[in-house]
Amino acid sequence: MIWNTNLRWRLPVACLLLEVALIALFGVFVRYDMDADPHWVQEKVIKNLSTDLENEFYYRYPSFQDVHVMIFVGFGFLMTFLQRYGYSSVGFNFLLAAFGIQWALLMQGWLQSFDGRYILVDLENLINADFCVGSVCVAFGAVLGKVSPVQLLIMTLFQVTLFSINEYILLNLLEVKDSGGSMTIHAFGAYFGLTVAWILYRPNLHHSKERQSSTYHSDLFAMIGTLFLWMYWPSFNSAISNHGDAQHRAVINTYCSLAACVLTSVALSSALHRKGKLDMVHIQNATLAGGVGLGTVAELMVLPFGSLIIGFVCGIVSTLGFVYLTPFLESRLHIQDTCGVHNLHGIPGIIGGIAGAVTASIANIDLYGEEGLAYAFGIERSKLNWSPNTQGRFQAAGLFVSLAMALAGGVIVGVILRLPFWGQAPDENCFEDAVYWEIPKEPKSTALRSEDSSIKPPEP
Amino acid sequence: MIWNTNLRWRLPVACLLLEVALIALFGVFVRYDMDADPHWVQEKVIKNLSTDLENEFYYRYPSFQDVHVMIFVGFGFLMTFLQRYGYSSVGFNFLLAAFGIQWALLMQGWLQSFDGRYILVDLENLINADFCVGSVCVAFGAVLGKVSPVQLLIMTLFQVTLFSINEYILLNLLEVKDSGGSMTIHAFGAYFGLTVAWILYRPNLHHSKERQSSTYHSDLFAMIGTLFLWMYWPSFNSAISNHGDAQHRAVINTYCSLAACVLTSVALSSALHRKGKLDMVHIQNATLAGGVGLGTVAELMVLPFGSLIIGFVCGIVSTLGFVYLTPFLESRLHIQDTCGVHNLHGIPGIIGGIAGAVTASIANIDLYGEEGLAYAFGIERSKLNWSPNTQGRFQAAGLFVSLAMALAGGVIVGVILRLPFWGQAPDENCFEDAVYWEIPKEPKSTALRSEDSSIKPPEP
Amino acid sequence: MIWNTNLRWRLPVACLLLEVALIALFGVFVRYDMDADPHWVQEKVIKNLSTDLENEFYYRYPSFQDVHVMIFVGFGFLMTFLQRYGYSSVGFNFLLAAFGIQWALLMQGWLQSFDGRYILVDLENLINADFCVGSVCVAFGAVLGKVSPVQLLIMTLFQVTLFSINEYILLNLLEVKDSGGSMTIHAFGAYFGLTVAWILYRPNLHHSKERQSSTYHSDLFAMIGTLFLWMYWPSFNSAISNHGDAQHRAVINTYCSLAACVLTSVALSSALHRKGKLDMVHIQNATLAGGVGLGTVAELMVLPFGSLIIGFVCGIVSTLGFVYLTPFLESRLHIQDTCGVHNLHGIPGIIGGIAGAVTASIANIDLYGEEGLAYAFGIERSKLNWSPNTQGRFQAAGLFVSLAMALAGGVIVGVILRLPFWGQAPDENCFEDAVYWEIPKEPKSTALRSEDSSIKPPEP
């Protein structure tokens, strides 16, 4: 096959066409929700609100910005660990997320914020769009280094569409709780990405094996991503929770889970190394599994020690996955998972889904209080025959639906991306920025020193 | 000319004198506004406020911190793209911003928060001081690598002064809307800086051409700056908007504009490269133009698709500017624009100003509602004969005033900075940290490896 | 002595045992406070709260996240300045902080949030846990590069315990004001760490002298830490202040102090260099001293110019400390202070404590208003014979108690850490990541270039 990686027409045309289409659709469909509309001044009077603070904006803005940082800096820099793929990691993540949030505003809008004529957007829509794109960033981790930006735009287009449908099924039809998206974001994104990676299997990828490792500084750049994901994960899991105690509780639970996860990740990383040394891959990734695993139960009554247990387990399972499962997936199942998303988002996402089913099914009035239970599970809105047991079963069903959608969707999108004209690189040029980026020449370091000495500023 | 770049007395004396003067002026003039004063406990009772949340602090603190990050990390790291000028980019930006915010608190305070005896500061003053310094950071981008820190302190002193006067004319006399500062911050800062750069023209700058490019890792450091600017720009454009729907709307609009801008920047960057490759300069800069272009209209009724269109146009114009205009400015107009601020802040700032004039002149009661219109444009405070048309014309006038002030001020400051005793470097030592910084010796990388193997920890 | 740095069993066992113990203790003791409990729905009705915003969450969440960033990115990256110790700086800081916050939730909980049966945690507990760990991060700076992660876990265990007791004495028994922790966090952490470093004195540390310096890029990574600490310090000093004006005032004061501190740090750095050049060590550290020095008085009536003076002095003293005191401490007192925490946290912490005593003792009704004074110092809760003078004396006593606890605790912990079986490295392998981390091989840079040219994409 002749690999043509020159994107001079394909990438610009794709970007411009998509953006023009988005503008047209936004023009027809998207308007401000009341909280962001100038008519809100009148609405305040009608609703008898005493203060501007009752605007949804003030409940969610700090969380929104934290989530925004996670998507663009968190995921973007986490993937810069590769020695020669930093531009693409940050840059393509930037591109796909910027496209994805616009498309997600439309897709999620039609399904959830459509008033019959317009999609009415407010801050919650922006958060949900970021969430949706988060699942694309996860999938990007599985195919990192092996796809062109055109392929990424196509993948984003389809994945956002499928994500929105899956989310609609889970949240609106099955009425599951999944505030931090263990199922809808992480498990869905991971298995979607892994399926795509499986279809795009490259038997001769060992030709770019050398570039698939890190350098000293690329690992430090990746830690920027890791830490911003880790620190802001409490915002992620609480961003769209109910006002008040639910947001508050989701933060405490996520904080606890992530802290526990660091200790078990470190423990396993050292225990599994011949000389007891730590591996940056585990510190960069497995330490985050506690946030993934807590995504479904974040606002439920797991209690702080329950959160610690989930973090404890996720750290162990995730590190084990990096050591044993990733090589197995590649050699036996022909799934080349560049970032190990299976260990960070796949399994912990499933753990989170299961934890959610269990936690929901043991909910009771002692734990929540009568009104608390009704508020937490939205029972007043739902059908009368609600019981913790049903909720638990629906939670489990939600997990299966997510996995099924991910696998089916991944196969379809994978087949589309296999077409040979998307500008993908040959196996020996994977994980290499120079394919799609103008790369600066490395400076001659000797030249710098001689200049330095030539400065000779006169003494005062 | 003999270049004396030894700042041993000039820089310390400048810093200490300025700081002592600031302390004296703060002692005479600056006090806390009521919201930050212990008497607020009584004020609450008098004003019949039911909750501490009505303190201005809670409306603006998250936005303030985001803006703060943009000024110090955003601008600071954005400019680290140069291979040997990272210390200066981050460090001098830190210095000038730290000085500038103090001087801005005084200048803006005298013009806008003076009660006849004291300047009363609260969080809004801090945000405005950061905004003011933002325009200095923009100008810094134009002269980056060619000026000494003493020159930067002088430039900051004058630019903050001029900025405050210009801002006073626009906001208080012309009563224009410019919540994100397309005119007051970006256009003013860019053309001020470009004028200074024009006066400081260095005909032999090609002697340090080699150092004017980036390295692989310096480009990644710069992306930290880009992304924090990009992510937090919604906070920038909404930080001093009216409470409630205006802040909310400004966030949605900026979010949309920036997303669209990424796609057109990528499209043009690829289309303009012979082999369709992307250029990091465009990704680092042009992707932000959508935020600049939306600065004036952020809280107005542009609607989400209007924001997308502004972002779309700004991304294209900005990338074109980097490819065609920057070389033209240097070769024909003798304006050496190190960071291309003309493309990122200059033209998009003008676009923003024009968009503001147009958007204001088509404002009507259908779009805003009667009370919404009055609230959005502060009509109750203003003269009776207000009409959208007048507002539009005043907006346009504001843009011209800003440009005129920038050019006139830039000439004056440029002439002052041309004086030969400010410690500036010769042409062949521009863009070089070693002129003003103690630089670590590069480690012998072989040494590290041998040490590594010498560790030989005994097996357990 | 035979140095066994293989931690294969020691580190995993330590982590897992600690985490299991934490889970058990959390299970027995930790529950949600009312604001984070589902019963809050009912509580709102009982307390007649009109809005969910009255949940403590909305007062403190933005500050909490900023503090969180300071602990993990701020301290973590600040310490990456060493050329070969970036993984350990970020990674061990991550580990000790993740463990520390859990243990602090328990220790501080028993002493301050215990209802007789349970520790009731809410967001304020999380902030306080981060604060407590902040003092461990400070101490880590003193011993950086010379201890194993096992030693760090032990140090954290003891230091958190001592911190909590010291904090209880100061805040609950002496009822001192210390909202930003000049005394409890910075002075305590610094002198604790310095005492440990003194006991762990390594006479042959010059063998790893070469690795004790920075490289060009490691200094830029460190600036990420510096700037996030600097920018978010206003949140640090205001995070647990009283609602309303106190939080607002603490932000303004800290903002001013830090800005002044940058100018004097730069001035002294240049003045103390033979050729007037700036030293990155000072820019990275001394610029932050203004935040430390303002920790005790942040919410008191120092007035903006008082804050500037504190920042002015701290910047000077801190830079002088780096130039003259650190070498003196090492050569004469045998205290090897890797990060110069004595200059950044030690002396400025003492300055802060003294400033607090002075400011408190001149408090009066003119400055605060009658109700303001009562609210600021919590007089209604306290004994009747309160006077500014007593408060000042108690503040001074608090400083002495903190220093005494730090020295006594540091000796005990230092002696424990001297035991030879904690996996510490020999003197010639200090400051070296390869001892505890799997390090990537440096890529052959020639290989990359040849690959680059081999790509040869066909022209379109």
- With a cut of 50, say whether residue C352 has pLDDT above it: yes
Q: At what angle do helices A123-143 and A188-199 cross, to 10 degrees?
A: 30
CATH value of A9-435 in 3.10.20.30, 2.120.10.30, 3.40.50.720, 1.10.3430.10: 1.10.3430.10
Hey, is the C-beta of A375 within 8 angstroms of any chain B C-beta? no
pLDDT at A1: 54
What are the structure tokens assigned to A437, written together? Answer: 């980026």
B434: confidence class by pLDDT, cuts 50, 70, 90: very high
B385: confidence class by pLDDT, cuts 50, 70, 90: confident
Q: Which of C4, C8, C446 to mutate to test the interface with A (most CBs of A within 10 A)?
A: C8
Angle at C317 (CA atoms; ends C314, C321), nearest 5 degrees: 130
Angle at A221 (CA atoms; ends B69, A322), nearest 5 degrees: 130
HSE, side-chain direction, 13 A CA sphere, residue C303: 19
As a whole number, mean pLDDT of residues C108-133 equals 97
As a whole number, mean pLDDT of residues B176-199 equals 97
Q: Tell me if residue C214 falls in helix, strand or coil.
A: strand
- With a cut of 90, say whether residue A379 has pLDDT above it: no
**Helix H or strand E encompassing B42:** helix B40-47
Residues 81-120 of B with CB under 8 A from C: 86-87, 90-91, 94-95, 98-99, 101-102, 105
Hey, is the C-beta of C456 within 8 angstroms of any chain A C-beta? no
Contacts of A447 in chain B (CB under 8 A): 210
CB contact under 8 A, A429 and C217: no
pLDDT at B197: 97
CB contact under 8 A, B439 and A447: no
pLDDT (tens digit per residue) in B350-375: 999 999 999 999 999 999 998 899 88
d(CA C59, CA C390): 31
As a whole number, mean pLDDT of residues A297-325 equals 97
C12: Cα separation from own chain's centroid: 26
pLDDT at B381: 62
B378: confidence class by pLDDT, cuts 50, 70, 90: confident
pLDDT at B383: 61
pLDDT at B446: 37
As a whole number, mean pLDDT of residues C210-224 equals 94
CB contact under 8 A, C440 and A219: yes
Hey, is the C-beta of A26 within 8 angstroms of any chain B C-beta? yes
Contacts of B435 in chain A (CB under 8 A): 455, 457
- Chain A to chain B, count of Cβ pairs less than 8 Å apart? 266
The closest of A57, A144, A10, A29 to A421, measured between CA atoms, is A10
pLDDT (tens digit per residue) in C320-345: 999 999 999 999 999 999 999 999 99
CB contact under 8 A, C308 and B102: yes
What are the structure tokens assigned to B113, written together? Answer: 């928060």
d(CA A81, CA A212): 9
Contacts of C211 in chain B (CB under 8 A): 443, 451
Q: Which of C105, C448, C450, C453 to mutate to test the interface with A (most CBs of A within 10 A)?
A: C448
pLDDT at A74: 97
Sign of the alpha-carbon dihedral angle for A191, A195, A196, A202? positive
3-state percent helix, strand, coil for chain A, nearest multiple of 5? 70, 0, 25
Cα of B198 to nearest chain C Cα, Å: 28
Cα of A409 to nearest chain B Cα, Å: 25
Contacts of A10 in chain B (CB under 8 A): 276
- With a cut of 80, say whether residue B443 has pLDDT above it: no
- With a cut of 70, say whether residue B458 has pLDDT above it: no
CB contact under 8 A, A455 and B435: yes
Q: At what angle do helices C149-168 and C10-29 cross, to 10 degrees?
A: 30
What are the structure tokens assigned to C246, written together? Answer: 């106190």
Q: Which of B84, B234, B279 minimises the CB distance to A448?
A: B84
Residue B148, CA distances (Å) to B434, C23, C33, C176 in order: 12, 56, 55, 46
Nearest CA in chain C to A219: C87
Residue B358 vs residue B457, higher pLDDT: B358
pLDDT at C383: 61
- With a cut of 80, say whether residue B447 has pLDDT above it: no
B384: confidence class by pLDDT, cuts 50, 70, 90: low
Cα of A170 to nearest chain B Cα, Å: 27
Sign of the alpha-carbon dihedral angle for B251, B254, B256, B259? negative
Give the lowest-confidence range in B113-117, B304-308, B440-444, C30-34.
B440-444
Contact A73, A239 (CB under 8 A): no
Nearest CA in chain C to A439: C452
pLDDT at A109: 97
Contacts of A214 in chain B (CB under 8 A): none
- With a cut of 60, say whether residue C458 has pLDDT above it: no
Q: Tell me if residue C302 falls in helix, strand or coil.
A: coil
Cα of C277 to nearest chain B Cα, Å: 5
pLDDT at A64: 97
**What's chain C's average pLDDT?**
93
Dump the DSSP string for B317-364: HHHHIIIIIHHHHHHTS----TT-HIIIIIHHHHHHHHHHHHHHHT--
Q: Tell me if residue C158 falls in helix, strand or coil.
A: helix
CB contact under 8 A, B263 and A90: no
B459: confidence class by pLDDT, cuts 50, 70, 90: very low
Share of chain C above pLDDT 70, in %: 95
CB contact under 8 A, A251 and C126: yes
- With a cut of 50, say whether residue B450 has pLDDT above it: no
pLDDT (tens digit per residue) in B68-123: 999 999 999 999 999 999 999 999 999 999 999 999 999 999 999 999 999 999 99
Q: Which of A232, A442, A448, A449 to mutate to test the interface with B (most CBs of B within 10 A)?
A: A448
pLDDT at A54: 92
pLDDT at B441: 84
pLDDT (tens digit per residue) in A249-270: 999 999 999 999 999 999 999 9
A460: confidence class by pLDDT, cuts 50, 70, 90: very low
Nearest CA in chain C to B58: C59
Burial B63-90 (b: 16+ CB within 10 A, else e): bbbbbbbbbbbbbbbbbbbbbbbbbbbb
Contact A36, A58 (CB under 8 A): no
**What's chain A's average pLDDT?**
93
Contact B6, C270 (CB under 8 A): no
- With a cut of 80, say whether residue B406 has pLDDT above it: yes
pLDDT at C382: 57
Residue located via tokens 């009341």:
A34
pLDDT (tens digit per residue) in A362-374: 999 999 998 899 8
CB contact under 8 A, B304 and A56: no
Residues 119-178 of C with CB under 8 A from A: 121-123, 126, 149
As a whole number, mean pLDDT of residues C134-138 equals 98
Which residues face C32 on adjacent strands?
Answer: C121
As a whole number, mean pLDDT of residues B244-267 equals 97
Residue A83 vs residue A448, higher pLDDT: A83
pLDDT (tens digit per residue) in B144-171: 999 999 999 999 999 999 999 999 999 9
Hey, is the C-beta of B450 within 8 angstroms of any chain C C-beta? no
As a whole number, mean pLDDT of residues A113-136 equals 97
What are the structure tokens assigned to C288, written together? Answer: 């932050």
CB contact under 8 A, A94 and B54: no
pLDDT at C159: 98
CB contact under 8 A, B15 and C312: no
HSE, side-chain direction, 13 A CA sphere, residue C385: 1
Hey, is the C-beta of B368 within 8 angstroms of any chain C C-beta? no
